[in-house]
Amino acid sequence: MAQRLDRINRLLDGITRNRREITTPEGVVLEVDIANHGERLVAFLIDFLFWMLATALLFLILGLTVIHGVSGSVTITIVLFLSFLLRNLYFIHFELQSQGATPGKRIVNLKVIDRSGGPLLPGAIIARNLTREVEIFLPLGLFFAVPKFGAGAEFWTAASYFGWAVALSALPFFNRDHLRAGDLIAGTMVISVPRRALLADLADSESRYVFTHKQLDAYGAFELQVLEELLRRPPSPDTWTMQQQVCDKICRKIGWADPVPPAEALSFLRAFYTAERAHLEREQEFGRYRADKNAAAGS
């Protein structure tokens, strides 16, 4: 299954997604797309922005009410402590509350899931988010806390903190599931869940064209689904030209005798799609799945 759909995705989008299979407790195998580095970065930056805004807002309120008149060092301490608390609660709260998705992840359509397909437990969420402290915030905080980057010991301290942050942030690039250290520890991974709509069925119930078995044997499931994508394209001059070309190609391939006028191309294609799908599905029911035009029927 994975290869079948993958091939069409490659053809249509020009991208190969990193796919994994997880098995639900019901025994249904689901394919999931591993999230890209870019998507994860964008989601993180959005969350980071929200966290900054929330922190800023909190301090605005504190500044207007409580802190007034307290010394600078006290303020800084309160700021550091509350922002530490706020960001951990932010990530843990949203991943617990909305099924493994922080607001940033929800915008980018990402989700945290258990790697083995089991339920996502609170322990895993807490673990993966606490590890974020070690991975990113702690070394970066230390890096910025080092007073000057002159020379000697301080330079090397700063460099080692920075190196640590870089090494751990680079971890997702070095494993095939793009896991960061927190995912390793918690047994989770981040996947992309694009939302899809259920579109109208393309199959017509009645057809003006009749095709023979031999003609329908010309193609397999791959071609059928590419044709489906073509028929689902929004109408435009471009689509129209493509439909004419495909129509001509199919007529040549199956030896269709009557010429199909350009105005009829779309209805011919739909009729062919319906007939071809009916044919292939019937064959599939008898265990003769045909992957594409090059595959022998019955394999």
Stretch that binds another protein, among 37-45, 54-62, 96-104, 241-249 (CB under 8 A): 96-104
Q: Rule CB under 8 A: is residue 5 a binding residue for another protein?
A: yes
Return the amino acid letter for 210. V
**Calpha distance 290→282 (Å, rounded):** 11
The smaller minimum CB distance to another protein, of residues 35 and 179, is found at 179
Draw the binding track, 256-285, toward another protein (x: CB under 8 A; -: no contact): ------------------xx-xx-xxx-xx
Q: Which two tokens stand for residue 211?
A: 């095709």
The smaller minimum CB distance to another protein, of residues 133 and 217, is found at 133
**Calpha distance 180→128 (Å, rounded):** 9
Provide the minimum distance between the beta carbon of 248 and another protein in the complex, in angstroms, as a whole number: 21
Nearest to 102 by CA among 128, 135, 80, 123: 128
Return the amino acid letter for 80. L
For 27, 99, 254, the CA distances from 189, given in Å and listed in that order, are: 20, 13, 47
The smaller minimum CB distance to another protein, of residues 5 and 52, is found at 5
Q: Which of residues 31-90 bind another protein (CB under 8 A)?
A: 31-32, 70, 73-74, 77-78, 80-81, 84, 89
Provide the minimum distance between the beta carbon of 285 and another protein in the complex, in angstroms, as a whole number: 6
**Calpha distance 56→22 (Å, rounded):** 40
The smaller minimum CB distance to another protein, of residues 38 and 285, is found at 285
Total residues interacting with another protein, rule: CB under 8 A: 88
Where b means 16+ CB within 10 Å and e means fewer, 89-113 reads ebbbebbeeeebbbebbbebbbbbb
**Calpha distance 25→267 (Å, rounded):** 44
Torsion angle, alpha carbons of 274, 275, 279, 285, to 10: 30
The smaller minimum CB distance to another protein, of residues 72 and 237, is found at 72
Draw the binding track, 97-126, toward another protein (x: CB under 8 A; -: no contact): xxxx-----x----x-x-xx-xxxxxxxxx
Q: Which of residues 180-239 bind another protein (CB under 8 A)?
A: 181, 184-187, 193-199, 201-210, 221, 224-225, 228-229, 232
Stretch that binds another protein, among 29-37, 40-48, 50-58, 237-245 (CB under 8 A): 29-37
Contact between 193 and 109 under an 8 Å Cβ cutoff? The reply is: yes
Among 41, 54, 62, 134, binds another protein (CB under 8 A): 134
Provide the minimum distance between the beta carbon of 41 and another protein in the complex, in angstroms, as a whole number: 21
φ/ψ (deg, to 5) at 83? -70, -35
